[in-house]
Amino acid sequence: MTPVVRDPGRRGMTALLLAIICLNSAGCWGSTDIDERAFVLMLGLDVTDEGMRISAQIAINERMTAEAGGEGVAFTVIHHDALSTSEGINLLQDTASMPLYLGHLKVVVLGEEFVKRRGLVEAVGALEREPEVRGQVWVVQAVGKAEDLLSAKPKAVRIPASQLERLLNTGLRFGHAPDSRLINVNVRLNTHGYHVILPILKEEGGAVEISGASILRGDRAVTEIGHELVHDYSLVSGASSVGVYSVASPRGAGRLYAIVRNPRQKIGVTRKSDGVAIYLRITAEAEAVEDTGPTRSGGAGWGDIAAKIPEVERMLGDEIAGRVANLIEKVQTDSGADVFGFVRYAGNLKFVEGAWDEVFPGAEVRVEVQVRLRRFGMGEA
């Protein structure tokens, strides 16, 4: 048998090379420790006489957890005046003791005057090109100044940005907030005839709530709708649950209230001699959640009510169809901006740039809603 000659030097060189490869693949060179970063959670943009003011809500790392001995709110707000968004983000570093990090940015708040005077493109153009910013960042409009909303201190909330992100995500799911995440805003800004709608946030006494929505034409805010109309908007745009609607109670008096769930839309766009016609058909489920009609002793029995369910479904469908049609007509009249996305169903009509914006305000809209009452409640109603 031929003896095997082992080379200790070669084995050591191999081990050294493997160690170098492992260290390089770990990607740790030039890294920044987590406690050496300033995490930007929210950005706010407001107009000034000479340009704009950018505000940043930054996490105070030492107060992030109770286990770390932190007390009080876990954020601070810094500001800087600038001429553009990108310049403002750069100049914010002048007031931050650690490198700013935008990877945890959750909400961008635009002041009321900013959206009307400077516009959305100027606000998000720089953020769309920032590699650290995620597409799920929310873009919203404030009532008044953005910096006031960033400085609000909700009770029992250590990090307001996280609470606002949850508020908006839940609002989107249940039809209280339109989808204005950065990725969706970017799609709308780059689709001819498809306009942006932003949730409006209002701060009062430290508490923040969704207070309707702002409709933009191009990149400027032109009108607003209240929170009830946002529910109607969500029937067109889609949401898990879209609010409560009411019709006459089948008991013969009072009102029956039903929450509408899982709407599905079928949309068609056809050309007419004098413009276009938009057909919208919505199918949805509903659950009866309240009936203010007479009690069992003074009203109809279950058998009588069950026989009237088809009539209740028809009334609910007519009520919802009327409200949706009124909303679309209001948007056509007040802004002429297609925030519903009907233009996406008109591609076969070959509209050139700008043409849809001309025909949408005068488009004929037909709305049909079919509702199925899936749950009427316990007992007789």
pTM over 0.85: no
Mean pLDDT of 182-193: 92
Task: List CB contacts of 25: < 8 A, sequence separation 6 or more.
Answer: none
Convert 85-96 to b/e letters by CB count within 10 Å (16 or more is b).
Answer: bbbbbeebeeeb
Instruction: Please write the tens of the pLDDT for every residue from 149-171.
Output: 988 877 767 778 888 999 999 99
DSSP assignment of 17-73 equals HHHHHHHHHTT-TT---GGGSEEEEEEEEEE-SSSEEEEEEEE-GGGS-GGGT--S-
pLDDT value at residue 39: 87
Instruction: Please write the tens of the pLDDT for every residue from 320-364.
Output: 999 999 999 999 999 999 999 999 998 777 776 778 999 999 999
Instruction: Please write the tens of the pLDDT for every residue from 107-137.
Output: 999 999 999 999 999 888 888 888 889 999 9
| Range picked from 2-16, 156-170, 219-233 for highest mean pLDDT | 219-233
25 pLDDT more than 70: no
Mean pLDDT of 47-53: 92
pLDDT value at residue 153: 78
- Residue boundaries of the structural domains of the chain: 35-225, 238-381
What's 249's DSSP letter? -
Q: Which region holds residue 94: left if phi is over 0, alpha if psi is between -120 and 50, else beta?
A: alpha
65 — pLDDT class (breaks 50, 70, 90)? low
Instruction: Please write the tens of the pLDDT for every residue from 301-323.
Output: 555 667 788 999 999 999 999 99
- When the pLDDT of each residue in the chain is averaged and rounded to a whole number, the result is 84
Instruction: Please write the tens of the pLDDT for every residue from 249-273.
Output: 887 788 989 999 889 999 999 988 8
pLDDT value at residue 305: 65
114, 55, 58: which is closest to 79 by C-alpha? 55
214 pLDDT more than 60: yes
67 pLDDT more than 50: no
Mean pLDDT of 90-114: 90
pLDDT value at residue 8: 58
CB atoms within 10 A of CB 317: 22
pLDDT value at residue 377: 60
Instruction: Please write the tens of the pLDDT for every residue from 142-152.
Output: 999 999 998 88
207 versus 241: the higher-pLDDT residue is 207
Second-level CATH architecture of 238-381: 2-Layer Sandwich (3.30)
What's 332's DSSP letter? H
Distance CA 77, CA 254 (A): 51
Q: How far is CA 276 from CA 209, 237, 251, 272, 363, in A?
A: 38, 20, 43, 5, 5
DSSP bridge pairs for 223: 215
pLDDT value at residue 5: 52
140 pLDDT more than 90: yes
